[in-house]
Amino acid sequence: MTSRDVVNVVQRRLPRKTKVGHAGTLDPLAEGVLVLGVGPAVRLVPYVQQQPKHYLATFRIGSSSVSGDLEGDISEFPDLPIPTREQLEQAARDLTGQIEQVPPAHSAIWINGKRAHQRIRAGETFDMPSRKVEIHALNITRYEFPEVDLDVICGSGTYIRTLGIDLAVNAGSTAVMSFLCRTGVGPFVIENALSVDVLREETLDAHLLSPSLAVQHLPQIEVTADDAQRLGHGLCLNEVEFIDSDRMIDQDVSEAAAITPDGQLRAIVRLKRGQWCPHRVFPTFSASS
């Protein structure tokens, strides 16, 4: 099942022409959390993608494939040295923080107007551009050669396949990914996730979450009913009060979430010439409507 398949399941359960979008593709091999935006909340998908992602993954040391996972032909390299746990942990430390990463060629990245995996299947050869990604945490939770389990917290755009392979390469070997589960994206965690069967069978209204969860990482300002009305008319606010002013210390804030007293997201606002002006405005409604 692809991420688009899940979107289609939800879209068929909703009134015609209701928009549905997902916040970050999961490879068919992977399982776990897929955050969906419904209706006006589709415009919040980019903000969900800004939040840290949590993964659990398993890699097989001493093996490789063109795709980096079990979907490609597997090659074994029994003559490569067997890394020690200490070597792998040192490699994990070296791969923590902001790193340069080359995405796998078998990926959905656009290269000159075409998906990389489509170019590969067409027999084309090309260089994948590198990108900077943020690895907040990379921990080895189990190592029983040839398998190693990783617990990863990372920023948007990180390829876990590449991260595990780089870990093995830095320890003198190579690897393929055999398992991947996304256990969370920001506040959206697997313990609260719904199965596809639930999406197919139960009423969806009861499972819709507050749009404010999508922007909990942004500074928040509380707006009055009058302020909310002004934002709805496209007007700017001259004075605002941040809900958690402690988060504002030493921060150069230019974007914030405008929250009503009852906790609803009214708008994403941006600072322009000393005023906070609406960038994206949302209808106010309860989480179950």
pLDDT digits (tens, 9 = 90+) for 136-175: 999 999 999 999 999 999 999 899 999 999 999 999 999 9
Residues 6+ apart with CB under 8 A from 120: 66, 105, 106
CA distances from 36 to 173, 211, 216, 245, 255 (A): 38, 11, 16, 30, 23
The rounded distance, in Å, linking the Cα atoms of 21 and 196 is 16
Q: Which of 5, 27, 79, 226 is catalytic?
A: 27
Dihedral, CA of residue 129, residue 46, residue 150 and residue 65, to nearest 10: -40
> Are 51 and 185 within 8 A, CB to CB?
yes
Q: What is the pLDDT of residue 107?
A: 52
Most confident range (mean pLDDT) of 27-36, 125-134, 139-148 is 139-148
Mean pLDDT lowest among 114-118, 142-146, 277-281: 114-118
Q: Is the peptide bond before 28 cis (omega within 30 degrees of 0)?
A: no
pLDDT surpassing 60 at residue 287: no
How sure is the predictor about 114, in pLDDT bands with cuts at 50, 70 and 90? low
> Are 58 and 179 within 8 A, CB to CB?
yes
The rounded distance, in Å, linking the Cα atoms of 95 and 79 is 25
Q: What is the pLDDT of residue 249?
A: 47
How sure is the predictor about 1, in pLDDT bands with cuts at 50, 70 and 90? confident
> Are 45 and 37 within 8 A, CB to CB?
yes
Most confident range (mean pLDDT) of 114-123, 143-152, 258-267 is 143-152
Phi, psi of 195 (to 5 degrees): -75, 160
Q: HSE of 126 in the Cβ direction (CA atoms, 13 Å)?
A: 22
pLDDT surpassing 50 at residue 180: yes
119-139 burial, b at 16+ Cβ within 10 Å, e below that, comes to: ebeeeeeeeeeeeebebeebe
Q: What is the pLDDT of residue 286?
A: 46
How sure is the predictor about 289, in pLDDT bands with cuts at 50, 70 and 90? very low
Per DSSP, the three-state class of 182 is: strand
pLDDT surpassing 80 at residue 121: no
**Residue 183 DSSP label:** E
Q: What is the pLDDT of residue 120?
A: 54
Q: What is the pLDDT of residue 175?
A: 96
The rounded distance, in Å, linking the Cα atoms of 158 and 135 is 8
- Domains of the chain with CATH codes: 1-50+192-207 (no CATH), 52-185 (3.30.2350.10), 218-281 (2.30.130.10)
Where are the alpha helices (H) located in the chain, listed in sequence order?
Answer: 3-12, 45-49, 85-94, 116-121, 160-170, 196-201, 225-232
27 a catalytic residue? yes
Phi, psi of 33 (to 5 degrees): -80, 125
What average pLDDT does this structure show over 232-255?
A: 78
